[in-house]
Chain A
């Protein structure tokens, strides 16, 4: 199904997408998307959605299952509390990417803004994954409680990450390419050894990332990554008098 989204409100657009899904459409192409918000919000389906244009705020929020590819940039709060599925963005995204994400994957070819992957969670087989090809802003992985974020910083001319990495983090893993100055870190995280198992994990997602964006993975093989974990699963446990 092809939907020409020109002059369409988010409500009309989502109604069309949902009715397409109800009618058994497995592939939906959205044309002329120009900042419409909430695309595929709360959608429970394995549908494949291709978006041409700039996707608006809350793309894929709460969704469970769809595979969304954006040929363009996306705005704020992408993958908000996403449960399952995949979002691939051929461009950059705004702030608060993957807030409270619970599962599925988000791949961003270029940059992301502040507060990427905050409150990400995981339980057993539910492990959300974010891979970002470019750089990110401050408060990266703040309050992170689970999942994996891989930050590649492929544009060497830019600062790869902002300040306060992993403030309040109490679970999950962050991999950043290269070395990171300690003064960038929040108080609750530190770098730990990047071992062979980590290498396997990173390579697995890198292969998928490179395939999705048609990048040459050879340039990334054997690059050095730094792994970050929370120092303590209970960062604020000691500040109270019981």
Chain B
């Protein structure tokens, strides 16, 4: 069938600069560039270009420029180009539209309408370059009270001040900065990317999350910085997997596809993935929603305690859910079911593969979810019983600070971490052809990403964000992340309507205390 769709991109090749070296031919897994054997010249088929910019980046002479295809359909605010292209595609294939990464739809980003406070005159700001600034925090259930005693036999003041904790604390995850790497499965991403995330987590004193695809043997050594996931497909879940982790996360849902299960397209289920997941190679790895053993909060509690028993109560159990309309009540149920951590993923959360309609239309923004969950747990007097990890499109340290100030304990970053490693957000993760060697299992593409260099880039990112968080906190006159958490008085809404301000429980900009 002749396609009626038109290209997304145009590739301009400057023939004066092009030296016919064929780098672009080798770099493009989508075959946008090919060598014409007859003329011995490099040819370009713009219809195949996905806009990942790999060729333009790697071209040694800078001869390539990828830009938006300029021929536009007649201007129409309702039936825009994207709508038409999707209609053509569905008319030509009869298929459910599949996509990757977080939604690209033009939703209001509430972070950009929240303003942070700073100290002026009446309370001093702190210079983080010269004064201690505490970003370390602990994730896990906190007791409602603690008992401790002083050793009065030792009268040295120093020892007296220390005290000895009598209460047995539930297991905690210590993090040096409130940023963790979000769940991305081995299968969705390559082993090299997993390695880079694990290495960076180790060096930064944080955690990476295996996602639901099991754990490759090479990564067992990073157990101190690993959170493993248990999803409905139960891929790679066994006692060794728990031993190789600091915490276990039950994946109920993710922000990019609430109510939809995990789906690793068969293109990416290679022999090694088939081994780790124990499914036939080439099959789609299905992790359906729901877990067929969880139909209620009581059933969730059963899986939480099954995992607690399996890990001898030594590891925090997290439950990850997508931010949906009723998220506050859901989170309350999760805490009451016994979870130590509630991870909430907003509508802008990323994915390796999701139906476009689901990704772009289902869920709520993480900003509102954090606020409503934190408020609800505080109202119910159970906020101490679980930590909140927020996820879903954190773009920079400003977003992180705002999330914590709204009430999150830490954030998960996925997309930002991938971008740090080279991702250009072409949204073709589900094809397995990632030219940047990230979302692929093709050995030729996988080796493009050097795990050591990628880890260095991640470490740099975490370091930079941590510095920025300290700067922002210092400006507010706050010297510990714990004092920032839930400190909503230090936030103001700008250009937000009343209901949003009410849910966020923040004052409008310009209103004093």
Contacts and interface: CB of A to CB of B under 8 A. Distances in A.
Partners in one complex: yes
B302 interface: yes
B284 A234 contact: yes
B309 A38 contact: yes
Given A42-B311, A119-B233, A233 B305 contact: no
B503 interface: no
A62 B310 contact: yes
7 contacts: A62-B238, A81-B234, A81-B237, A83-B239, A102-B278, A145-B279, A146-B278
A11 B284 contact: no
Given A234-B266, A241-B96, A99 B306 contact: no
Contacts of A233: 266, 280, 282-283
Interface size class of B (residues with CB under 8 A): 35 or more
Interface string A207-242: 000000000000000000000000001111111111
Nearest to A239: B96
B277 A121 contact: yes
B461 interface: no
B74 to A, nearest CB: 25
Contact of B95 (A118, A146, A240): A240
B309 A14 contact: yes
B280 A240 contact: no
Interface string B85-112: 0000110111111100000000000000
Contacts of A194: none
Nearest to A122: B278
B312 A18 contact: yes
B239 A119 contact: no
Interface residues of A, number: 51
A80 B232 CA distance: 11
Given A96-B292, A102-B278, A170-B279, 8 more contacts: A18-B312, A42-B239, A62-B238, A126-B278, A168-B286, A170-B286, A237-B266, A241-B97
A143 B309 contact: no
A76 B292 CA distance: 12
Contacts of B312: 18, 42
Interface string B29-52: 000000000000000000000000
Interface in A33-52: 37-38, 41-44
A10 interface: yes
Contacts of B89: 241
Contacts of A42: 239, 242, 307, 309-312
A218 B326 CA distance: 58
B384 interface: no
Nearest to B355: A240
B283 A171 contact: yes
Interface of B: 89-90, 92-98, 230, 232-235, 237-240, 242, 265-266, 274-275, 277-280, 282-284, 286, 288, 292-293, 302, 305-307, 309-313, 355, 430-431
Given A58-B302, A118-B292, A63 B96 contact: no
B95 to A, nearest CB: 3
Contacts of B235: 121
A96 B303 CA distance: 13
A123 B278 contact: yes
A241 B93 contact: yes
Interface string A1-25: 0000000001100100010000000
Interface of B is mostly: mixed
A131 interface: no
Contacts of B278: 102, 121-123, 126, 145-146
Q: List 4 A-B pairs, minimum CB-CB distance, nearest first.
A: A42-B310, A241-B95, A100-B234, A121-B278
Interface of A: 10-11, 14, 18, 37-38, 41-44, 57-58, 61-64, 76-77, 80-81, 83, 96, 99-100, 102, 115, 118-119, 121-124, 126, 139, 142-143, 145-146, 168, 170-171, 233-242
Contacts of B311: 42
Contact of B239 (A37, A57, A62, A145): A62
Contacts of A145: 278-280, 283
A124 B96 CA distance: 34
Listed residue (B96, B240, B283, B431) with the most chain A CB atoms within 10 angstroms of its CB = B283
Candidate in B97, B233, B239, B240 with the most chain A CB atoms within 10 angstroms? B239
A234 B282 contact: yes
Nearest to A171: B280
A233 B233 CA distance: 16
Contacts of A10: 305, 309
A194 B487 CA distance: 68
Contacts of A168: 286, 288
A237 B92 CA distance: 17
A168 B280 CA distance: 14
Contact of A44 (B239, B282, B292): B239
Contacts of A139: 292
A81 B292 contact: no
Nearest to A82: B238
Contact of A41 (B97, B309, B430): B309
B119 to A, nearest CB: 48
A171 B97 CA distance: 26
A236 B263 CA distance: 10
B276 to A, nearest CB: 9
Nearest to A13: B309
A170 B275 contact: no
Nearest to A10: B309
B364 to A, nearest CB: 26
Contacts of B309: 10-11, 14, 38, 41-42, 61
B306 A170 contact: no
A236 B239 contact: no
Contacts of B233: 100, 119, 143
B426 to A, nearest CB: 14
Contacts of B430: 242
B284 A236 contact: yes
Nearest to B277: A121
A37 B237 contact: no
A239 B266 CA distance: 13
Given A64-B238, A145-B279, A241-B93, A115 B292 contact: yes
A121 B238 contact: no
